[in-house]
Amino acid sequence: MNNTEIKSILENASSVAVIGVSSKPDRASHQVAAYLIEQTHFDVYLINPTVTAEILGQPVYKSLADLPVVPDIIDVFRKGEDMPAVFATEFPAIADSASGKTWWMQLGIENQDVAKLAMDAGMKVVMDRCIKVDYQNLIPEGK
């Protein structure tokens, strides 16, 4: 996916779910979630089935099924080999409205099988890219 397509996804989305967010401030998922909450126009939903407390002052949901909305971007911080299980667990909650949404695998994460499943459902797929870096580089300040 090229920068023009990524920019369009970021500009047209209003909500992001961060799956696999960590409560540890030194983790990339925590830092990216903090950036998305503090520096972007997105409504951000945090997902981690093992966390019971808030992270970054936000509630943490167990899964996509628990969210009050179907987010425009599902940003996943899980290893590539874990991606099929994450997709199998989370996708049913959004299946009816997946078309046009984006399944985003963070920097260093790729899984062609999951990409095909998501695309077959009408989703856009981003792999091996950091949503924070792309937002900083592609979205004009003050958007």
pLDDT tens column, 46-88: 999 999 899 999 999 999 999 999 999 999 999 999 999 999 9
The amino acid at residue 128 is: D
* Res 142: pLDDT: 53
Tell me the whole-structure pTM to 2 decimals.
Answer: 0.95
Q: Tell which phi-psi region holds residue 20, choosing left (phi > 0), alpha (psi between -120 and 50) or beta.
A: left
Q: What is the DSSP letter of 58?
A: B
pLDDT band at 141 (very low <50, low <70, confident <90, very high): confident
Q: Are 73 and 45 in contact (CB under 8 A)?
A: no
Superfamily covering domain 3-138: NAD(P)-binding Rossmann-like Domain (3.40.50.720)
Cα–Cα distances (Å) from 41 to 35, 54, 107, 142, in that order, read 11, 21, 21, 9
